[in-house]
Structure 1
Amino acid sequence: MRTGTIARSIAVAGAALLAVSACGGSSDDNSSSGSSGSSGEKQTNVYGTDGNMGNALGEDFTKEGSLAGMSGTTPLTNLNDDFKKRLLTIDPALKDYNYAGESYDAVMITALAAQMAGTNDANTFKAFVNGVTVGGDKCSDFKSCLDIINGGGNPDLDGITGPLSFTDPGEPAQASFGLLHFGADNKIDDAKTKFVLAGDEANATTNEGPNGGKAATPNATGNPLIIGTLLPQTGNLAFLGPPEIAGVKLAIQDINAAGGVLGQPVQLVEGDSGDTSTDTATQTVDRLLQANVNAIIGAASSGVSQTVIDRITGAGVLEFSPANTSDIFTTYNDNGLYFRTAPPDLLQAQALSDLISGDGNTSVGILALNDPYGTGLADNTEKDLIAAGLSQGDIKKIIYDPQAANYDSEVQQMVDFAPDAIVVIGFEESSKIIQGLNAQGIGPQR
């Protein structure tokens, strides 16, 4: 059943994204594949994904225009200015807003599910999570949803990231993706950002949970809901930490201002996820469990979540990721305790392949880091490019070690393959790869 749901989502996603490509989704920002500049040399188009499509990448480049030809995709909602301003009151130093909305919504859904269940026990309130996002009466903030719950109604949260509408596995049936472009200053050019929807709300769950989506006991009170965070403060995804942490803190601030959960203020215990090269996440999870958290928001990295999901869910604690996109979690045996507001990579792969094929590229090199995120997105992108008309021989896929000292060999293989386009699916190590591509004349540098 889950496979069928995803397949239908992809079909709709393809139609929506192809419509954007037909309207010139990126042809006005990238040089056409195989085109020649003033030097008469072929310009290779370079694409990135959510692991590197942020302003933090540009901080590693001092030469103007080093990233000017690079575009890519990321799960991204067109956040309103008021939400961004409120995030800045939490963290005035924010440079990007990636996954801030997803983090905010993850906390909101968790809090509403606990209130509806009348308990902070995740093994009980997990049954209410999906139902918070479908059916019933629409609400867009904690206070309005709480009023519906306490009035004996059935809330349907439309969050910061949209309608949410979770499927049975506990992930969005529909999601927004941003098509991003770096400018000459090596920063994301917000004026060129476009948004597309992937998926279909029709694929959302029809199971609204216990009591037909209504609270077990309206106006329930009880022990405080304690939320922990497992978000990157260090490691190769540290650039994603600030917006995610700000999203969590803002959500808790808003919830507590509206009266809290079960008549008590929501408590927060912060923790660092690090990355897969360390055991930071394991140590943090142990500390959070000792602090008796009821839910953990995180991790951001799919690879990190894979190392701790059994530890978290096995302890009867809910794990709610704002940024995991690996497909492995759709069918993971998680005791019904794992959820995510980020869409699975099956949908991002379609967005990415549509962007690439829409630019007219007929040969593509894929450089992907060796972890569940990198290999999963690379495999799905390859399949979608073939479905779009490329042959297997038109695609070269290289899986690399993100801890390698250099990427000279991988870059040289791309030089030898000489594709129209190169996709870099990675994290902070992406800057080394792109610097190597630029040095060989096949990077985004303009």
Structure 2
Amino acid sequence: MKNRRLVRGAAVFAGLALVLAACGEDDPAETAATTTAPEDDGGSTTTAPTDDTEPSGGGGGELAGARGTNPAPETTAEVTAFQDRMTALDPELEDFSYGPESYDSVVIIALAATAAGDDGSAHAAEIVNVTKDGEECTTYADCVALLTAGTDIDYTGVSGPTDMSGNGEPIIGSYSVQTYGDDNRIDPDLTVFETVEASEEFQALPNDPVTVERAGDGILTIGTLLPETGNLAFLGPPEIAGVNLAIEDINAAGGFGGQPVVLVQGDSGDPTTDTAVQTVGRELAAGVDAIVGAASSTVSASVIDTITAAGVTHFSPANTSKQFSDYPDEGLYFRLGPSDILQGQVLANVISDDGAGSLVILHFDDDYGNGLAEDLGGSFTESGGEVVDTVRYDPTAQTFDTEVQAALAADADAIALIGFDETSKLLAALVSAGLGPLDIPTYLVDGNIGNALGERFDNGE
């Protein structure tokens, strides 16, 4: 089974054809992404950087105009209502990134367990099935009622359609293209949305069989592996809020098999620590049936074998690295973060549509950063652009002088920054060198874009 998956996945992604579905008008003959925007896109004015701009921070609109992609559902009344619930649960939330996906991850696990009548490893065989090809339902309670009546379901969640291919990853990617305003925060009036759909071949992949048997005990227990510390800690609060709201809603609707779902919370840390390994060990010892996380693809890669070998479902709301598309995971790994193959395509289209003909990419040196840089560069080149240079960096470096000099030497039309919370320091160095967003079109990704980045930049962090 492992070798079959590897061969099949490589073949599919080597020839992956993307169909970019418009949120508005659509020309099926076109393969370029389409966008929708508010009727009044606001607009912003920027001023040239002054000579006394400090590399330690800002607050004077230095990030204005920087743009980036982030998996997110298009804003609707339902999405806004869910975000309000997240804020009510955690009033200090700065962003909602991957909060909806975290909620849906938990709901899907519980629905799969209900469909299987089993909280053991057998429930994983139903995860893909409850996301597509049945009667649409949008709440746990409604979906359970359909399952109880013997009706196949298609769960559409707060993150949008959750349809999965047979390898356990989404076949539709919904992205918000966000832009910073003059206050170094995301300007919602400038946000547009793009939807990307994978090829028919990818969508038709058969479900991977679950190859590890583990008996359940009738109590669905879900552990979390989400960042409370480390360089992705800014993503933790919305993800944790999403999980907690899901547990609340599931238990309010009767739980699993009439029993409350049990939550065991845990910190993932980041790739520089063994926090995730310790958390997974503790949660497996506690008898969890599924683990939701991690946010970091590199962290997930460090524990996926341990989790799946135990017959436990590993479900990430945020992993985007393409390495998981054909990973030998015993049929037990799933995710709602669309593959970076899709994000690379969307961001490349945004950069090209903005008029850039050449690009320099600075990226975090890990599985996520290396993979997304490759996907972005490949898609940008396919669109007719030139990637002048791709520069890896160590996020723990004391300075980014070498990387800034490489970016200056590239003399490209645009710059893309792929990283996590260290991006604020990299941006400060670029601004100081006259290569900030006010000087050159600057693009970010799901790992760094958000209000938290603006706050860290302003604080010199």
TM over 0.5: yes
State the number of aligned residues: 408
Name structure 1 gaps, 5 residues minimum.
32-36, 40-59, 211-220
Residue equivalent to 2:344: 349
Residue equivalent to 2:322: 327
Q: Does 1:428 align with 2:417?
A: no
| Aligned counterpart in structure 1 of residue 402 of structure 2, from 385, 404, 409 | 409
Counterpart secondary structure, 1:227: strand
Residue equivalent to 1:48: none
Describe the superposition over 1:253-312 as per-residue Cα deviations: whole angstroms up to 9, x where unpaired. Answer: 000000001221000000000100111111111111111111000000001011111111
**Superposed displacement of residue 152, structure 1:** 1.1
Residue equivalent to 2:268: 273
Residue equivalent to 1:179: 177
Q: Which residue identity does 1:328 align to in structure 2?
A: Q
Q: Which residue identity does 1:423 align to in structure 2?
A: A
Q: Does 1:289 align with 2:304?
A: no
**Superposed displacement of residue 92, structure 1:** 1.8
Residue equivalent to 1:20: 35
The 2-side partners of 1:276 and 1:25 are apart by 42
Q: Does 1:137 align with 2:135?
A: yes
| Aligned counterpart in structure 1 of residue 234 of structure 2, from 212, 233, 239 | 239
The 2-side partners of 1:179 and 1:280 are apart by 32
The 2-side partners of 1:133 and 1:412 are apart by 47
* Distance change >3 Å, CA 30–CA 351, structure 1 → 2: farther
Name structure 2 gaps, 5 residues minimum.
1-7, 23-29, 50-55, 210-215, 440-461
Asked if 1 retains the 8 angstrom alpha-carbon contact of 2:36 and 2:194, the reply is no
* Distance change >3 Å, CA 266–CA 187, structure 1 → 2: same
The 2-side partners of 1:407 and 1:27 are apart by 34
The 2-side partners of 1:243 and 1:23 are apart by 25
Deviates more, 1:347-356 or 1:382-391: 382-391
Matches within 5 A, 1:356-367: 356-367=351-362
Describe the superposition over 1:400-429 as per-residue Cα deviations: whole angstroms up to 9, x where unpaired. Answer: 111111111000111122211110000011
* Distance change >3 Å, CA 315–CA 38, structure 1 → 2: closer
Q: TM-score, normalised by structure 2?
A: 0.83
The 1-side partners of 2:236 and 2:206 are apart by 33
The 2-side partners of 1:63 and 1:302 are apart by 31
Asked if 1 retains the 8 angstrom alpha-carbon contact of 2:93 and 2:238, the reply is yes
**Superposed displacement of residue 24, structure 1:** 12
**Superposed displacement of residue 4, structure 1:** 6.1
Describe the superposition over 1:145-193 as per-residue Cα deviations: whole angstroms up to 9, x where unpaired. Answer: 0001111111110111222110111011001001000111111111111
Q: Which residue identity does 2:196 align to in structure 1?
A: A
The 2-side partners of 1:206 and 1:150 are apart by 28
Counterpart secondary structure, 2:398: coil
| Aligned counterpart in structure 1 of residue 251 of structure 2, from 240, 253, 256 | 256
Residue equivalent to 2:223: 228
The 2-side partners of 1:18 and 1:163 are apart by 18
Counterpart secondary structure, 1:20: coil
Describe the superposition over 1:346-401 as per-residue Cα deviations: whole angstroms up to 9, x where unpaired. Answer: 0000011001111111111100001111000000111111101124xx42100111
The 1-side partners of 2:149 and 2:199 are apart by 26
The 2-side partners of 1:8 and 1:349 are apart by 13
Residue equivalent to 2:74: 78
* Distance change >3 Å, CA 135–CA 11, structure 1 → 2: closer
Asked if 2 retains the 8 angstrom alpha-carbon contact of 1:227 and 1:266, the reply is yes
Counterpart secondary structure, 1:176: strand
Counterpart secondary structure, 1:357: helix
Describe the superposition over 1:80-139 as per-residue Cα deviations: whole angstroms up to 9, x where unpaired. Answer: 221111112321211100001110110011000011111110x21111000011111111
Asked if 1 retains the 8 angstrom alpha-carbon contact of 2:33 and 2:194, the reply is no
Residue equivalent to 1:50: none
Asked if 1 retains the 8 angstrom alpha-carbon contact of 2:64 and 2:183, the reply is yes
The 2-side partners of 1:186 and 1:416 are apart by 27
Asked if 2 retains the 8 angstrom alpha-carbon contact of 1:22 and 1:358, the reply is no
The 1-side partners of 2:343 and 2:82 are apart by 24
The 2-side partners of 1:209 and 1:344 are apart by 18
**Superposed displacement of residue 5, structure 1:** 5.2
**Superposed displacement of residue 38, structure 1:** 7.4
Q: Which residue identity does 2:136 align to in structure 1?
A: K
The 1-side partners of 2:402 and 2:425 are apart by 12
Describe the superposition over 1:59-90 as per-residue Cα deviations: whole angstroms up to 9, x where unpaired. Answer: x8433112112111111113522111111232
Counterpart secondary structure, 2:35: helix
The 1-side partners of 2:393 and 2:208 are apart by 43
Counterpart secondary structure, 2:18: helix
Asked if 2 retains the 8 angstrom alpha-carbon contact of 1:128 and 1:208, the reply is no
Deviates more, 1:402-411 or 1:77-86: 77-86
**Superposed displacement of residue 206, structure 1:** 7.1
Q: Which residue identity does 1:235 align to in structure 2?
A: G
Q: Which residue identity does 2:62 align to in structure 1?
A: S
Q: Which residue identity does 1:134 align to in structure 2?
A: K
The 1-side partners of 2:17 and 2:279 are apart by 35
Describe the superposition over 1:191-218 as per-residue Cα deviations: whole angstroms up to 9, x where unpaired. Answer: 11111101158553475899xxxxxxxx
* Distance change >3 Å, CA 174–CA 29, structure 1 → 2: farther
CA RMSD, aligned part only?
2.7
The 2-side partners of 1:326 and 1:222 are apart by 33
* Distance change >3 Å, CA 292–CA 69, structure 1 → 2: same
* Distance change >3 Å, CA 426–CA 27, structure 1 → 2: farther
Residue equivalent to 2:335: 340
Matches within 5 A, 1:307-326: 307-326=302-321
Percent identical among aligned pairs is 44
Asked if 2 retains the 8 angstrom alpha-carbon contact of 1:222 and 1:263, the reply is no
Q: Which residue identity does 1:85 align to in structure 2?
A: D
* Distance change >3 Å, CA 351–CA 29, structure 1 → 2: farther
Describe the superposition over 1:241-260 as per-residue Cα deviations: whole angstroms up to 9, x where unpaired. Answer: 00000000001100000000
The 1-side partners of 2:406 and 2:66 are apart by 20
Q: Does 1:125 align with 2:123?
A: yes
